[in-house]
Amino acid sequence: MNRQFGNTDLMTSPVVYGCMGGAGAFGVQEEKDSIEALREAFNIGINFFDTAEAYGDGYSEQLLGRALGDKRSELVISSKVATENLAPDDIIAACERSLKNLGTDVIDLYMLHWPNRAVPLADSIGALKTLKEAGKIRWYGVSNFGSSDIDEALALGDIAVNQLPYHLFSRAIEFEVQPKCEAAGVPIMCYSSLMQGLLAGRYKSLQDFPVSRARTRMFDSRKWAEAVHEEYGAEEAGQALLDALWTLVGDTGLSMEELAIGWLKSRPAVGGVIVGTRNATQSRDLAKLLKVKLEDSVLQALTEASDRLKEELGSDIDMWGKGRTR
Ligand SMILES: NC(=O)c1ccc[n+]([C@@H]2O[C@H](COP(=O)([O-])OP(=O)(O)OC[C@H]3O[C@@H](n4cnc5c(N)ncnc54)[C@H](OP(=O)(O)O)[C@@H]3O)[C@@H](O)[C@H]2O)c1
């Protein structure tokens, strides 16, 4: 089931385990649950694990090392250096910290987490090259790099990945970034693939979604206290999509997660679909997502159901509307 990740020599599962929730991103999280969730994800066949120094200030990396350190040779680990650490010396120091947190001597895929305009990108990429030559990382890439950012990165180096927000409720990358990644042979790792749970088949209405997660540009900033953007959202189109998804769940007999992840797996340039879970029970469900392959008619219905929302939200790939990408 594992296949080559882009132009690298890494053999990876199509579903990637996302380690951010283990560090408490979605509320109180027991360490025991996080460890069991990680182990169960490995047991059902996932070998690709995504983390970052920013997730709990290294705690997420430590958890991964503790849960699956004994399986290190069977894992592909991706981690990211935080935006504020993109100066060359800071990248080198951050990588050393991450290696220690993970309890390993090499990171398979190391990414710049977000662009940082205060540091020339050539300097950051230079540090990544140095780390690769020193054998501290196997491959490097970027995350949250928009249309102009990815042009700049591609001109500078051997970019092995662009990790991007991509799911049925957020298709902004399709306007420019995804075609550029596809043309350059750069695989996309999709994040928030379940829209932080909205695509996990538990909500009938957008209004039921936890306010702490209703921060993306789809939500009206006048109504949702934690949205920091100043946009009016696209909630009507979002609710219409959610309704259409429930209809498809009924018509196909598939779960909403299978529809959401099956659709992502079929999209151009997608090299991995990241999903986060909170416990072993949720991780067990990932087995279905590893296998799912949707019929063309279902793929088309999903694309059409989300076209209106895509057009209304437009091409800003920063899901949270903080103006960090270009
Ligand atoms: N590069 C970046 O800037 C960036 C940004 C964000 C995320 N990421 C990566 O992407 C990963 C995943 O994205 P995400 O954290 O935004 O979340 P996500 O994968 O879209 O959603 C995770 C949530 O979905 C729900 N869920 C998952 N499996 C379920 C199941 N079987 N049944 C019911 N609910 C289920 C859980 O919600 P409950 O908590 O309600 O149980 C879980 O917390 C992160 O861990 C991280 O690795 C990267």
Q: Which residue has the tokens 């999209």?
A: 267
Most informative mutation of 282, 288, 317, 324 for ligand 1 (most atoms within 8 A of CB): 282
Taking CA atoms only, the protein residue closest to ligand 1 atom 27 is 277
What pLDDT, on the 0 to 100 scale, is given for residue 1?
Answer: 85
From the candidates 55, 59, 110, 140, which is the catalytic residue? Answer: 55
Q: Per the domain annotation, does 170 fall within a domain? A: yes
How remote is the C-alpha of 169 from its chain's centroid? 14
Q: What is the pLDDT of residues 272-293, one digit of tens each?
A: 999 999 999 999 999 999 999 9
CB distance 115 to ligand 1 below 6 Å: no
Taking CA atoms only, the protein residue closest to ligand 1 atom 16 is 192
| Inter-residue contact 18 to 289 (CB < 8 Å) | no
Q: What is the pLDDT of residues 250-267, one digit of tens each?
A: 999 999 999 999 999 999
Ligand 1: centre distance to CA 198 (Å): 10
Q: Per the domain annotation, does 233 fall within a domain? A: no
- Tell me the three state secondary structure of residue 236: helix
CA–CA dist 265, 15 (Å, integer)? 9
Of 199, 197, 262, 275, the residue nearest 38 (C-alpha): 275
What pLDDT, on the 0 to 100 scale, is given for residue 190?
Answer: 98
Q: Identify each DSSP E strand in the chain by its residue range.
A: 3-4, 11-12, 15-18, 48-50, 76-81, 107-112, 137-143, 162-165, 188-191, 270-276
CA–CA dist 219, 169 (Å, integer)? 11
Instruction: Give the DSSP H or E segment for 310.
Output: helix 296-313
What pLDDT, on the 0 to 100 scale, is given for residue 318?
Answer: 95
pLDDT, mean over the chain: 97
CB distance 111 to ligand 1 below 6 Å: no
Q: Per the domain annotation, does 251 fall within a domain? A: no
User: What's the domain range around 118?
Assistant: 3-200+257-295
Grade residue 268 by pLDDT with cuts at 50, 70 and 90: very high
Q: Per the domain annotation, does 316 fall within a domain? A: no
Q: What is the pLDDT of residues 161-175, one digit of tens each?
A: 999 999 999 999 999
Q: Per the domain annotation, does 250 fall within a domain? A: no
Ligand 1: centre distance to CA 22 (Å): 10
How many domains does the chain contain in total?
1
Ligand 1: centre distance to CA 251 (Å): 26
Q: What is the pLDDT of residues 67-99, one digit of tens each?
A: 999 999 999 999 999 999 999 999 999 999 999
| 191 catalytic residue (yes or no) | no
Ligand 1: centre distance to CA 11 (Å): 23
CATH number at residue 155: 3.20.20.100
Grade residue 156 by pLDDT with cuts at 50, 70 and 90: very high
Ligand 1: centre distance to CA 209 (Å): 14
What pLDDT, on the 0 to 100 scale, is given for residue 44?
Answer: 98
| 282 phi, psi to nearest 5 deg | -65, -40
| Inter-residue contact 110 to 99 (CB < 8 Å) | no
Q: What is the mean pLDDT of residues 206-218?
A: 94
Q: Per the domain annotation, does 212 fall within a domain? A: no
Grade residue 157 by pLDDT with cuts at 50, 70 and 90: confident
Most informative mutation of 26, 76, 78, 213 for ligand 1 (most atoms within 8 A of CB): 26
Q: What is the pLDDT of residues 6-44, one digit of tens each?
A: 999 999 999 999 999 999 888 899 999 999 999 999 999
DSSP at 187: P
What pLDDT, on the 0 to 100 scale, is given for residue 123?
Answer: 98
Q: Pairing between strand 76-81 and 107-112?
A: parallel
Q: What is the mean pLDDT of residues 177-185?
A: 98
Q: Which atom of ligand 1 is nearest to the CA of 193?
A: 20
Q: Pairing between strand 76-81 and 15-18?
A: unpaired
